[in-house]
Structure 1
Amino acid sequence: MLDYTVPLLPLPRIVDELRAAGCVFAEDEARILRSAARSPAELVAMVEQRVGGLPLEHIVGWAEFCGLRIAVAPGVFVPRLRTEFLVQQATALTRPGALVVDLCCGSGAVGAALAAAVGDIELHAVDVDPAAVRCAEQNLAAVGGNTYVGDLDEPLPATLRGRVEVLVANAPYVPTGAVALMPPEARLHEARVALDGGDDGLRIVRRVAAVAPRWLAPGGHVLVESSAAQAPEVVAAFTGSGLSARMAHSPELDGTVVIGTATAAQY
């Protein structure tokens, strides 16, 4: 409950401080901080944290994604706007009641948004970062999602093999050498394992391509996000695993998704 004995910082003052610190969306962030603060002292502390470079989402404890509030804890990867295109593409391929797996799930944002868009699905989500999975548990509880901590597909129940209709993976795809060039909010405050995709950025994506066929049902789909420049290599990785593959791109969201489909020849 707000303490009204001391007035909250005026909104224009917060905007000025955030703008001076380089926050591009200072007005929006100021309103979010002011509405999230439970006391004037907490608001001051929040503004100081944001000016100091802490991601807004880690300060308030949530990120907006596909119209949902997704809980995120300090150190956990913050879902990006471009990843909404991954959700859009997956939604088009997912029927109500489908068995869906979300690898490299992070906070569970993709799975939560897919469940919200499609309705009733059987959802299984995995991430190697325990802190991220704790957020995923919170975000997927309302849709009955099953969460697992572990390396890629290793924790998944064997009973899912050959039955998964849609497999999504927002795997890390930043090349190791480019992580240092990322905005400080990401490289300093998000887990390295959620960002670093190896020498060319596709080490984990190639692993997804290699394991996907064992889980997919006949005609099932695997969808991964990548950069536009990396997409041809991802397509090659999918076809090398026996999947048919295509690329989709959204100029509006600056999002690129490669979609692989299990062919009849695999079964």
Structure 2
Amino acid sequence: MSVSPSLLPLSVIVTRLRAAGCVFAEDEAQLLLSAARNSDHLAAMVERRVVGLPLEHVLGWAEFCGLRVAVDPGVFVPRRRTEFLVARAVTLAGPGAVIVDLCCGSGALGAAVVAGLGRAELHASDIDPAAVRCARRNVGAAGGQVHEGDLYEPLPGTLRGRVELLLANVPYVPTEEIELLPAEARVHEARVALDGGVDGLDVLRRVTAAASLWLAPGGHLLFETSERQAPQAVETVARDGLIPRVVTSDELYATVVIGTRPAPGRTVPVPATAS
């Protein structure tokens, strides 16, 4: 149900949003108007946005890969650049693939890949209870299951050696750089979804260390990283027995590393130490 603009003029909402620093104030105002149930709800949403809550947390959803993904307060908001990872993943498997989405947050990645493939066996996990509650709505709608726990620990053992796509949108911001993030992320998203340790690769190392146990031969691990971290990430992937490659999107400013489990008997060349 949309609210008549006369209850709170569009121009007033736009002015307030602009004053609060919202770059796309007109677009955001239209979204808030379309989502409001009544004038009180509209006023409350505008106030929440003005004081700095992410628009997606105010609306309760984010647009991602053409889907409307539920995003609860405190849960990591899927970024548009991550749509590049989803697009690459869809090219690497077919309908019916076994997919695992680690550090799933809202479950947006797994749900979007399933939508791209048409059907799949989807499992997701996250250590944050709030993220798990949110993901169960999105992943459940895609026919998948969400497990609460640390990385692989809560996954069914029957998945070992069967996973064709292992999506791992791990936190990769170095601890000392967390304070440099925009307030929308730094204040309103769970730190566990952002903090990647001293060099930003701590969680990634734990993912790659066990990836070969879960991936099927020829299966792929995909994760996002920064351009600066990519050489170290590639080295980590190779040292843990996967064949690495890096793909990038200049348009989305996205860097994705793909690690492929080799066929039995094939050795993985280890790259030189990253500087």
Gaps of 5+ in 1: none
The match for 2:222 is: 223
| Correspondence for 1:84 | 83
- Contact kept? 1:242, 1:266, Cα under 8 Å: no
Contact 1:7 / 1:40 at 8 angstroms: preserved in 2? Answer: no
Q: Which runs of 4+ in 1 moved over 4 A?
A: 1-4
Counterpart residue number, 2:124? 125
Q: Which residue of 1 aligns with 2:66?
A: 67
Contact 1:228 1:256 in 2 (8 A): yes
Deviation, structure 1 residue 266 = 6.0
Matching residue of 1:29: 28
Aligned to 1:178: 177
Deviation of 1:8 (Å): 2.1
Give the whole-Å Cα distance in 1 for the aligned partners of 2:215 and 2:35. 42
CA distances 1:224-252 after superposition (whole Å, capped 9, x unpaired): 11011111111101100111100001010
The 8 Å contact of residues 246 and 255 in structure 2, kept in 1 or not, is answered as yes
Post-superposition Cα deviations, 1:73-113, rounded to whole Å, max 9, x if no partner, equal 11000000111011011111021011010000000000011
Cα distance in 2, alignment partners of residues 245 and 118 from structure 1: 23
Match of 1:238 in 2: 237
Structure 2 Cα separation of the partners of residues 123 and 2 of structure 1: 35
Measure how far apart 1:119 and its partner are.
0.8
User: Counterparts of 1:176 and 1:71 in 2: how far apart (Å)?
Assistant: 28
Task: Summarize the alignment of residues 30-49 of structure 1 with structure 2, pairs less than 5 Å apart.
Answer: 30-49=29-48
Task: Note the aligned Cα RMSD (angstroms).
Answer: 1.4
Query: 1:111 touches 1:140 (CA, 8 Å); kept in 2?
Result: yes
Q: Which residue of 2 aligns with 1:151?
A: 150
Offset, 1:142: 2.1
1:211 Cα deviation after fit? 1.2
Structure 1 CA distance for aligned equivalents of residues 241 and 184 of structure 2: 38
Query: 2:57, 2:124 → 1: CA distance?
Result: 22
Query: Identity of aligned pairs, percent?
Result: 64
- 2:77 partner SS: coil
Match of 1:258? Answer: 257
**1:7 partner SS:** helix
SS at 1:237 equivalent: helix
What's the offset of the Cα at 1:7?
3.4
Unaligned runs of 5+ in 2: 267-275
The TM-score, its normalising length taken from structure 2, stands at 0.94
Contact 1:8 1:40 in 2 (8 A): yes
Q: Which residue number in structure 1 is paired with residue 205 of structure 2?
A: 206
Give the structure-1-normalised TM-score. 0.97
Distance 1:168 1:77 in 2: 16
1:32 & 1:138 partners in 2: Cα distance? 22
SS in 2 for 1:153: coil
CA–CA distance in structure 2, aligned partners of residues 2 and 96 of structure 1: 38
Find the aligned partners of 2:201 and 2:176 in 1 and give their Cα distance: 13
